[in-house]
Amino acid sequence: MPQNLIEFLCSRHMQGQPYPEPFPASKGIPERFKRLPAELTVNGKQEDTVKKCPPFVDAMSSGYLIPIIADVECRMTAAGVECKSTLPIVDFHDARQLTGVPPQPLTIIKISSPWIIKTPPGYSCLFTQPLNRFDIPFQALSGVVETDTYYFETNFPMVCLLQPGQTYTLQRGTPIVQVIPFKRDPWTSECGVADETTRNKWMETGPREGRYKAHYWERKQYE
């Protein structure tokens, strides 16, 4: 087995269904981002867009995306959200489970997933909203799972951002969660005074534009 292998395993009772499979986040970049120019004019001045920001792009392309396995139509009514799905994958959480009492006006749905995620010993996974994507009116709640020992499906609670009267269909194959594996190393922290000599070296490495990518950025790989 490769040292850094993440496995997405379909449980036995789910097999035989043509579910859309998880895939590297770098292969799910939204079309609106692909169409975004690297520069544009703002108030008469040429400005860079996030397309030229390596930290933004790295966040968007790190880890893996898990797509929803069926169409889910959600309609927000005065009484709450109503969902219809081609598969029984939708459940609900009471907002008090997230916000306490009195509850904030949140609507939380839970999407079932057929995937068991398995990582090598010592590695966990962060499950979170697909980073820097704003294409759907749902926000996945973030969580960390010890995927090296927890051998069961992970389901995904999501805050529904629809307003009363609005309807939206989560289409089968739409990425709803980003999974980023990481090693559980212990950390300590401290605060102090910066070394100005080291800081000033950064200013001397060349023009500010493109400096980070040219001198500090490293390519990340998820396949």
Each residue's pLDDT tens digit, 178-218: 999 999 999 999 999 999 998 888 777 766 677 788 888 89
Q: Is the residue at 178 inside a domain?
A: yes
Taking a C-beta distance cutoff of 8 angstroms, is the pair 179, 127 a contact? yes
Extract long-range pairs of 143-149: CB within 8 Å, 24+ residues apart.
145/117, 146/184, 147/6, 147/117, 147/118, 147/119, 147/123, 147/181, 148/118, 148/119, 148/120, 148/121, 148/122, 148/123, 148/124
Taking a C-beta distance cutoff of 8 angstroms, is the pair 154, 117 a contact? yes
| pLDDT band, very low/low/confident/very high, at 16 (cuts 50, 70, 90) | low
Q: Is the residue at 79 inside a domain?
A: yes
Q: Is the residue at 203 inside a domain?
A: no
Q: Is the residue at 12 inside a domain?
A: yes
Query: Does 15 score more than 70 pLDDT?
Result: no
pLDDT, mean of residues 74-79: 92
Looking at the chain, the whole-number percentage of residues with pLDDT higher than 90 is 66
Q: Is the residue at 193 inside a domain?
A: no
Each residue's pLDDT tens digit, 125-142: 999 999 999 889 999 999
| pLDDT band, very low/low/confident/very high, at 120 (cuts 50, 70, 90) | very high
The total domain count for the chain is: 1
Which pLDDT score is estimated for 215? 80
Which pLDDT score is estimated for 129? 97
Q: CATH number, domain at 31?
A: 2.70.40.10
Average pLDDT of every residue of the chain: 91
Which pLDDT score is estimated for 190? 97
Query: Does 14 score more than 70 pLDDT?
Result: no
Q: Is the residue at 194 inside a domain?
A: no
Find the domain containing 35 and state its range: 7-188
The DSSP line for 182-197 is EE------------HH
7 or 207, which is more confident: 7
pLDDT, mean of residues 121-125: 97
Q: Is the residue at 64 inside a domain?
A: yes
Query: Which of 76-80, 102-106, 186-190 has the least mean pLDDT?
Result: 102-106
Q: Is the residue at 57 inside a domain?
A: yes
